A and B are shown apart, each in its own frame.
Chain A
Amino acid sequence: MENIKMTNEPLLRIVDVVKKFGEVAAIDHCSFDIAQGSITGLIGPNGAGKTTLFNLITGVLQPDSGHIYFKGEEITGKKPYAIARRGIGRTYQIIRIFPKMTLLENLIVIGKGRERRVMERAMELLHLVRLDDKKDEYASDLSFGQQKLLSLAQVLMLDAELILLDEPAAGINPTLQNELMALIHQLNEAGKTFIIVEHDMSVIMNHCQNAIALNYGQKIAEGSCSLIQQDERLLEHYFGR
Chain B
Amino acid sequence: MKHSLKRKQVLIGLAILMAFLISVPFFATDYWMTLLVLIFIFTVYASGWNLFSGLTGYTNLGLAWFIGVSGYVSSLLIADYKLLWVFAWPLGALFVSLVSIGVGYILLRIKGVYFAISMVALTEGTRELIGTEYLEPITHGGKGVPFVAGISLPVLYWSILLLAFITVFICYKITSSKFGLRLITIREDEQAAETLGIHTTREKIVAFVMSAFFTGMAGAIHFTYQNYIDPSFGFNIQLTLTPIVMTLFGGVGTVFGPLIGATLFTFIHEILWAELTILYMAIFGAILMILILFFPQGLLGWMKEKGIVPRIRKI
Contacts and interface: CB of A to CB of B under 8 A. Distances in A.
Interface of A: 58-60, 79-81, 83-85, 89-90, 92, 96-101, 105, 108-110, 112, 115, 154-155, 157-158
Contacts of A110: 196-198
Nearest to A109: B181
Contacts of B182: 109
Interface in B222-275: none
A136 to B, nearest CB: 9
Contacts of B200: 81
Given A96-B189, A100-B188, A108 B194 contact: no
B196 A89 contact: yes
Q: Rank and list the top 8 A-B pairs by shortest CB-CB distance, nearest first.
A: A98-B188, A84-B197, A96-B192, A80-B194, A109-B181, A85-B197, A81-B199, A80-B195
B3 interface: no
Given A60-B194, A109-B181, A109-B184, 19 more contacts: A59-B195, A60-B195, A79-B194, A80-B191, A81-B197, A81-B200, A84-B196, A84-B197, A89-B195, A89-B196, A92-B192, A96-B189, A96-B191, A98-B189, A101-B185, A108-B178, A108-B181, A109-B185, A110-B196
B119 to A, nearest CB: 24
A216 to B, nearest CB: 26
Contacts of B185: 98, 101, 109
Most buried by A among B188, B192, B197: B197
A110 B188 CA distance: 14
Contacts of A84: 194-197
Given A108-B181, A109-B178, A109-B185, A97 B192 contact: yes
Contacts of B178: 108-109, 115
Most buried by A among B188, B191, B193, B200: B188
A4 B196 CA distance: 31
A155 B2 CA distance: 37
A162 to B, nearest CB: 12
Contacts of B194: 60, 79-81, 84
Contact of A90 (B184, B195, B199): B195
B101 to A, nearest CB: 19
B188 A99 contact: yes
Contacts of B197: 81, 84-85, 110, 112, 158
20 contacts: A59-B195, A60-B191, A60-B194, A81-B198, A84-B194, A84-B195, A84-B196, A84-B197, A92-B192, A96-B189, A96-B191, A97-B188, A100-B188, A101-B181, A101-B185, A109-B178, A109-B181, A109-B198, A115-B178, A154-B196
A77 to B, nearest CB: 15
B301 to A, nearest CB: 11
Interface string B161-180: 00000000000000000100
Nearest to B203: A81
A101 B184 contact: yes
A150 to B, nearest CB: 12
Contacts of B199: 79, 81
Contacts of B198: 81, 109-110
A80 B185 CA distance: 15
